[in-house]
Structures are given as C-alpha cells and as structure tokens.
Structure 1
Amino acid sequence: MKSTIIKAVFALAIGYSGYYFLLRSPSSTKGKLAPDFESQLIDGSKFNLSSLKGNYVLLDFWGSWCPPCRRDNPNLVKLHNQFYNESFKDANNFHIVTVALEKNDKTWKKAADRDGFKWEHQIVEQAKVVLLSPLAQKYAVKDIPAKFLIDPDGNIVGVNQPYSEIKAYLQSKI
C-alpha cells in the first residue's frame, strides 16, 4: 500500500514537472502573439507593450543580482546602439524593453547605469520570488536572462536566441 502511494505521488510529480517545463516553457511561445501588458516605466509613466506595435522589440528579463544577466548586458547595449534609429523594410524602429526582476527597487538602478542602459523602456518588477512577478509569469519566464524578439505585428519570432542570431535577423530586415 505504502509503495503504491509513493509511486502515485512520484507519477504526479513527474507529470506536473513535464507540464511546467515543457508546456509552460518560454520556447512554447515562439510564433504566438506576444502577451500585451501595462506597466510603469522607471520615470513613472504608464507603458503598454502594444504601444510599440509597428516596431521590432526585444523584451529582456534580467536582474541586477544575476551574474549571467550582467555579463549579457554589454551585448544588449551594443544591439541597441546598432539598431536603434535604423531604417527597416517592414518596421518603424527597434526598441529594447528591459524588465528588471528584483526583490527590492534599490540595486537595479546602479546596475543599469553601470551597464549603460540608455533606452526609455525600463521596467522594474518587485517580488519576493522574482520569477513569480506578474510579467515573468505572463511570459512563463523560468530563468533569467530571458529574451523575446517581437516583430512589428506583435508576434514572438525568437526566444532566448544568441545575440548573433538576433543581430542577423534584424540585419536581414534592413
């Protein structure tokens, strides 16, 4: 009897893990419409992702406390510098929207300044468990850094691609 209960619990755990890691994984969102959201930018203004329709958008989830994110940030800045104000065949522009997932709102500013974030679309989401913040949940973010490349129609065309692939994709659209 005890053995049967243990096997049943184990089977349920495996089933839930499969659901969580396969069906809810960010890669399952590629090709779908990017979920719209409303948030507050760091300057206090309201922001809707849908306001950037007609542009290429890189939605980047990161954290000031995350070493891989911090190592990634120079590539993000280079991408912004290369493609912001570029003339695209099928889009108005290229924008980066960063979402800092933080436990408190004090440390991210120093990190963003040090890493060279100059774009206007910066969001800070605070949560005790950062991956459970509303935006991270909306995009099924399980780990950071997490990147979503969104086309001018609002479709997710890339998830967690290397910067070389993002750059090649954007260059093909010029």
Structure 2
Amino acid sequence: MKYAVLLFFAFVWSGSDQKSFQEGQVAPDIEMTNLKGEVVKLSSLRGQMVFIDFWASWCKPCRKENPEIVRVYQTYKDESFDNGEGFAVFSVSLDKKQEAWQKAIVKDSLIWDTHVSDLKGWKSDAAVAYGISSIPMSYLIDGDGVIVAVNPRGDKLEKELKKNRKSDSWFKSLFDK
C-alpha cells in the first residue's frame, strides 16, 4: 500500500504533460468567480490570444514561473495576432483559501484582470473539466478559442506568441524566428 501511494504522488507531481485537450480543439468555456465574487467567463476574452494558466499559491514551480508570465504579458498584451487582438492571461487557481490566493497574486505582481477560482482545490470545476492532475498546466488559445499550444511553459510561450503574431511585412517575420 505504501508503494502504491508513493507511485500515485509521483505521477501527480511529475509535471507530466497531460493533454486532455489537443491543439486544434476548441477550449471548453470556464465560468468561475474572481476575487470580488463576480462571475467571469473564459469566453469573455474571445478575440484575444489567451494563456489559460492552472496554478496555486502553494505550488512552488507555479510561483517560480510567474515572473516570466508577467514579463510575457507586459510584452504582448497590446500585440496583434493572426487570430486575435491583444494577449490576456486567464489564471485559474486551485487554492482552497482565498487569502493565500489573493496574497500570491499581490506578491507575484500578477497584474492582469482575470483571476478566478471556486476554492475547491483539485476538485475545482475547471480542473475537473480540463482533466488537470498536475500544475502548473496551461493552454494557449487563439481569438476563436482554439487551442494553439498545450502547456507552453518557459520560452515556449513567447515562441508561440511570436509565431502567431501578425506580421507587418514578410521582412519583419524573418526576425521573429
């Protein structure tokens, strides 16, 4: 029994790229409340490139990556893409305590507007719908809600945004590679 439990936790915390949804599929809508108790829908961001980020305040790899997400957000939030105007982050927290979630947002300077959670942890409606078994986990979707990248972490997120950025000319696109 002891080894079965260890194997289970090794799988859950392995950070494996679970791909419940694949590139080319439409991302299911997420409808949850923000810190003010207002209902926010993922679909309200249609027309933009959106980074859906599943994370939690207690997740050290998530917190370690937050500065990079902030940097990419600041760089691309006003960009034009082949299928979307602007770049947004839709943060889905798997926290159970609102105070910890809120403190992490402030401490990590997560400056975008769309932070949501139902404070159910791993039983979060969004986590269940997306089959999330480890975090951080993310999806990049285009202006139509179509998944263009699964779990684009680190420099892969910026590479995907560059690849989908609207080019002013063929000459400019030579330098985006």
Alignment-derived partner of residue 58 in structure 2: 65
1:94 is matched with: 87
Normalising by structure 1, we get a TM-score of 0.79
- Give the length in aligned residue pairs: 148
The question of 1:146 aligning with 2:137 is answered yes
Aligned partner of 2:74 among 71, 81, 92: 81
Q: For residue 153 of structure 2, what is the aligned residue in structure 1?
A: 162
**CA drift at 1:119:** 0.6
TM-score normalised according to structure 2 size: 0.78
Q: Distance in 2 between matches of 1:72 and 1:156?
A: 21
Identity %, equivalent residues: 35
- Of residues 84-93 and 137-146 in structure 1, the stretch that sits farther from structure 2 once superposed is 84-93
* 8 Å contact kept, 2:49–2:83: no
- Listed as ranges, the gaps of 5+ residues in structure 1 are 1-24
Give RMSD over aligned pairs: 1.5
**Contact in 2 for aligned 1:131/1:143 (Cα 8 Å):** no
1:87 is displaced (CA, Å) by 2.4
After the TM superposition, list the runs of 4 or more consecutive aligned residues in structure 1 that deviate by more than 3 angstroms: none
Deviations 1:83-126 (A, max 9, x none): 11122233111100101111221111111111011111011231
Aligned partners of 1:147 and 1:161 also within 8 Å: yes
> Quick check: which one's helix share is greater?
1
Query: Could you tell me which amino acid in structure 2 is paired with residue 145 of structure 1?
Result: P
Q: Deviations over 1:57-98 (max 9, x none)?
A: 000011111111111111111111111112223311110010
| Contact kept in structure 2, 1:37 and 1:48, CA below 8 Å | yes
**In terms of Rg, which structure is larger?**
1
Matched, 1:108 2:101: yes
